[in-house]
Amino acid sequence: MNTVEVTAPGKLVLKGAVDVDTAAELEVAGMALIDSQVAPWWEVDLSAVTRADSAALALLLSLMRDAGNKQVSLTFTGLPDELMALAGVCGVDSLLPMA
């Protein structure tokens, strides 16, 4: 199952496949969760992601943009190797705030 949930104050966890079929829905759900909580920073944990494609990378960049517009800082943890490799190939790996 593909989900995004708050597991602790300031911690958002993505689970399952994050791909072209799920990324838009996960972005909307993730930002709704961030908006519903009072926290100036968030850790977005991707260690439970089972599959990721370029839409997952677009999702991370969109979350960064949307959170930045609300003066919320994000840090990503547990990025799958395939997603890190894709970020490197696309030249955006240095843009991703990693913990």
Helices vs strands, H then E, count in the chain: 3, 4
For 15, list phi and psi in degrees, rounded to 5: -130, 145
The answer to whether residues 62 and 96 touch, using CB atoms and an 8 Å cutoff, is no
pTM, 2 dp: 0.92
Phi, psi dihedral angles at 45 (to 5 degrees):
-95, 120
Does residue 14 have a pLDDT over 90? yes
pLDDT of residue 90: 95
Could you tell me the pLDDT band of residue 72, with boundaries at 50, 70 and 90? very high
pLDDT band per the 50, 70, 90 thresholds, residue 39: confident
SS3 12: strand
Which CATH superfamily does the domain covering 3-92 fall into? STAS domain (3.30.750.24)
Q: Looking at residue 24, what DSSP letter applies?
A: H
> How do the domains of the chain map onto residue ranges?
3-92
